[in-house]
Each structure stands twice: as structure tokens, then as C-alpha cells.
Amino acid sequence: MMQAADVSVSYGAGPIVSHVSFTVNADDKLIILGRNGVGKTTLLKGIMGILPIKGTLTFKDTDITTYSASKRSRSGIAYVPQGREIFPDLTVEENLQIGAMSHPVDFKNKLAEVLEYFPILTEHMKRKGGVLSGGQQQQLAIARAFISEPAVLMLDEPTEGIQPNIVSHISHILTRYHEEKHIPLIVVEQNLKFARKLGNKFLIIQKGTIVESGPIEKLTDEVSIAYLSV
């Protein structure tokens, strides 16, 4: 489905992410872990086309390495950035409409479907995104990605700053969405419990390169202490 081969990403000077390779298929929920500042967000931005990459990115048997971010988005790659980045001055409904832009979806139908995953948003449709709680904004950001009917969904630290009951809800919704839509998830996460519950495989990044990877069962306490403890 999606394959990153020997991908390196930089902001201009030396590479921040070096020679990273992975594959995700429809039944995969890949968790990307690593301490602060190791290059996780940079990798996702490279895959999304926000930063240029070296190496090869293949999606549905097509080489998309040179595609712009908007072309990757139109191809079905969706991205929920760290910090959510909803539009605070637009209403919840307008934020969701933006998710449908440039995608061949019927907004009304899609909206009804997506609100089944996030019923809490229904009562806030006419409120500005900026007045929602952090947990509600995160649900809005994920709902906005769902609206576009993605073929692969990437999320950057979806549990950051979210209270435990909402973290559990988000884990449940992502699991359900993955099962129902049968699309790969790529999730950058620091919350080990959430990672183990959601993921079926993982990779750990240190100084921009993969130092450990495998099925989620291999994400043992020993591995966590070696690469993730601070």
C-alpha cells in the first residue's frame, strides 16, 4: 500500500531523518516512537510532502516522491498534525467542510457518517473551533481527516495533552475506523500504553534513524527503557 524506501528528510542543512524504510498495508497500524526531537514529526512531514524527501515513496504502486502535499492529499494521504491545527475562528462545521475540500466526497453524507464516530461534535457544529476543549479539538482534527475518506491516515501525537478518558475514546475510534475502512494508520506517539493498545507494529527512531522495529509484541519494557525512557 505505502512504502518508504531509504527516505531522508532535512530542513536545508544536514538530514534530520536518514535512510528510513518501512511498509504499511491495509491491515497495519504502525506506531512510530522515539524521544523528543529525534525526527518523528519531520518524517511525517516528509511523507505528507510538506518537506522534500530523498529516497522513494510509493503509494498504491505509484511513485509519489515528487508529488506536492496537495497532490498527496488528493491521492488519499491524510495527516492530523501535532497540536491539531484546527482553524480556531471557523466553526466546527466549517472546519469539517475544509476536510472535504478537493476530495470527491458528498459532504452531507460524509458528515453524517463521521459524526457517528464523534457524536460530541454534533452539539458544537455552530461554535468556533477555538472554544472547544483540547480533547474536542483533537476529535475535530481527526474527524476532519475522516471526512476526506483517506486511503492512509497519519496522526502526530494524537494523545498529547488529552485527558485519559478521551485518550481511551480516541484509541477506540481509531481501532474501529481501521477495522471498518481497512486502511493503514501511521501514528507518532509517546504514550506507550496507547501505542501498545492501538498498534500492530512499531518502529523506534533515534537521531533520525530506525533503531528498533517489529510486531508490537516486541515493544517490551526492556526496549522501552533502552530507547524511550528519559
Contacting residues toward ligand ATP, per CB under 6 A:
11, 16, 34, 36-42, 82
Q: By C-beta, is 18 or 139 nearer to ligand ATP?
A: 18
- Closest distance to ligand ATP from the beta carbon of 36 (Å): 4
Three-state secondary structure readout of 191-215: CHHHHHHHCCEEEEEECCEEEEEEE
Nearest to 76, CA basis, from 132, 148, 142: 148
Beta strands in 71-219 (DSSP E): 77-80, 152-156, 185-188, 201-206, 209-215
- Closest distance to ligand ATP from the beta carbon of 137 (Å): 18
- Closest distance to ligand ATP from the beta carbon of 207 (Å): 9
- Closest distance to ligand ATP from the beta carbon of 45 (Å): 8
For residue 84 the three cell numbers come to 491539531
185-188 β-sheet, strand order: 77-80, 152-156, 185-188, 29-33, 201-206, 209-215
Q: By C-beta, is 141 or 147 nearer to ligand ATP?
A: 141
Q: By C-beta, is 2 or 188 nearer to ligand ATP?
A: 188
Q: By C-beta, is 96 or 162 nearer to ligand ATP?
A: 162
